[in-house]
């Protein structure tokens, strides 16, 4: 239902833009199309933020940032606000990053994996390369900030389920996974992404590797 609503809303916005262009060209509006766009384009940003929230409620912080910036730009275009919104953009992003880390659900609690059963790897302004050989691998908590991290799980055994809880900010995380597991991506990506290049050979009832957390202006690569 959510993707359908998003598609309908996007279509309505495009249609409204077309009607505005038509009205401007026919002289129905007192302003030209260029003036109309210059004055009201932030409304597109505001609607975009609303659609982000509707499509993924978990991204409410980033939806709020987008809507806030759209409102500030609109107020500036209407000569109500004199402050340059770009001066507020990066502070808002940094605040949202901090809040998203603090408010992120605890993956260990969700998947019933205790803290003592998970390795903890941090890479800040640097890199880390971890190779695991556990015969009962349960997971890793990793934080990557403006750096790089590599988790090599090719020689581990996952009996039922393992959890990698990742926070990646302006950095990269590479995860090499075994072929006999099912990879489940549950990350939230903002100005970043997760690329799954793994070639899985897992059948029904295979152990599961869950990858959760936040990817902000960075990336996670999953491969064999």
> What is the per-residue pLDDT for 137?
85
> What is the per-residue pLDDT for 116?
47
Q: Which residue has the higher pLDDT, 18 or 82?
A: 82
Domain count within the chain: 2
Residues 8 and 34 in one domain: yes
Confidence of residue 191 (pLDDT cuts 50, 70, 90): confident
Residues 38 and 72 in one domain: yes
User: Do the Cβ atoms of 137 and 162 come closer than 8 Å?
Assistant: yes
Supply the range of the domain harboring residue 23: 2-103
Token code pair at residue 61 = 């912080």
Residues 13 and 95 in one domain: yes
Token code pair at residue 163 = 């959890």
Residues 144 and 171 in one domain: yes
| DSSP letter string, 56-121 | -GGGHHHHHHHHHHHHHHHHHHTTS--S-THHHHHHHHHHHHHHHHHHS--HHHHTT--GGGSEEE
Token code pair at residue 84 = 């340059």
> What is the per-residue pLDDT for 31?
57
Residues 81 and 38 in one domain: yes
Residues 81 and 175 in one domain: no
Q: Which of 25-39, 77-91, 152-166, 188-202 is least confident?
A: 25-39
Instruction: Give the residue from 166, 186, 162, 178 showing the smallest Cα distance to 123.
Output: 166
Residues 51 and 138 in one domain: no
Q: How far apart are the first and last CA of the chain?
A: 34
For tokens 């495009």, the residue is 14
Residues 82 and 127 in one domain: no
pLDDT in tens, 108-158: 445 555 444 567 777 777 888 888 888 888 888 888 888 888 898 888 888
Q: Which pTM was predicted? A: 0.58
Residues 60 and 128 in one domain: no
Whole-angstrom distance, CA of residue 123 vs CA of residue 87: 29
Instruction: Give the residue from 83, 93, 105 showing the smallest Cα distance to 167.
Output: 105
> What is the per-residue pLDDT for 10?
66
> What is the per-residue pLDDT for 166?
85
195 has pLDDT over 60:
yes
**DSSP assigned state of 213:** E
User: Do the Cβ atoms of 194 and 211 come closer than 8 Å?
Assistant: yes
Token code pair at residue 86 = 């770009």
The residue among 56, 81, 103 that closes a domain is 103
Cα atoms found within 13 Å of the Cα of residue 152, Cβ hemisphere only:
7
Q: Which residues contact 38 (CB under 8 A, 6 or more apart)?
A: 77
Residues 114 and 218 in one domain: yes
User: Do the Cβ atoms of 127 and 149 come closer than 8 Å?
Assistant: yes
- If you average pLDDT over every residue of the chain, what do you get? 76
Max avg pLDDT among 19-28, 55-64, 214-223: 214-223
The residue among 103, 135, 164 that closes a domain is 103
Q: Which of 20-34, 79-93, 199-213 is least confident?
A: 20-34
The residue among 88, 103, 118 that closes a domain is 103
**Other beta carbons less than 10 A from residue 15's beta carbon:** 10
Q: Can you say whether the dihedral through the CA atoms of 23, 27, 31, 35 is positive or negative?
A: positive
Residues 74 and 114 in one domain: no
Residues 18 and 61 in one domain: yes
Q: Detail the DSSP E strand segments found in the chain.
A: 119-124, 127-131, 139-145, 148-152, 161-169, 172-176, 182-190, 193-196, 208-216, 219-223
Cα atoms found within 13 Å of the Cα of residue 52, Cβ hemisphere only:
20
């Amino acid at each position: 239902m959510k993707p359908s609503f998003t598609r309908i809303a996007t279509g309505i916005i495009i249609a409204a833009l077309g009607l505005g262009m038509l009205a401007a060209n026919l002289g129905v509006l007192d302003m030209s199309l260029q003036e109309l766009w210059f004055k009201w384009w932030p409304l597109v940003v505001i609607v975009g933020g609303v659609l982000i929230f509707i499509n993924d409620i978990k991204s409410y912080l980033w939806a709020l940032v987008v809507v806030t910036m759209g409102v500030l730009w609109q107020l500036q275009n209407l000569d109500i606000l004199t402050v340059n919104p770009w001066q507020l953009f990066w502070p808002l992003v940094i605040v949202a990053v901090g809040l998203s880390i603090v408010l992120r659900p605890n993956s260990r609690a969700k998947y019933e994996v205790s803290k003592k059963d998970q390795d903890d790897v941090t890479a800040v302004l640097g890199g880390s390369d971890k190779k695991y050989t556990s015969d009962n691998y349960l997971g890793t908590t990793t934080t990557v900030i403006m750096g790089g991290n590599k988790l090599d799980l090719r020689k581990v055994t996952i009996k039922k389920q393992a959890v990698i809880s990742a926070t990646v900010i302006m950095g990269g995380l590479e995860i090499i996974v075994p072929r006999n597991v099912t990879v489940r991506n549950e990350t939230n990506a903002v100005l970043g992404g997760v690329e799954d290049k793994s070639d899985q050979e897992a059948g029904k009832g295979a152990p599961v590797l869950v990858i959760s957390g936040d990817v902000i202006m960075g990336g996670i690569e999953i491969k064999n």
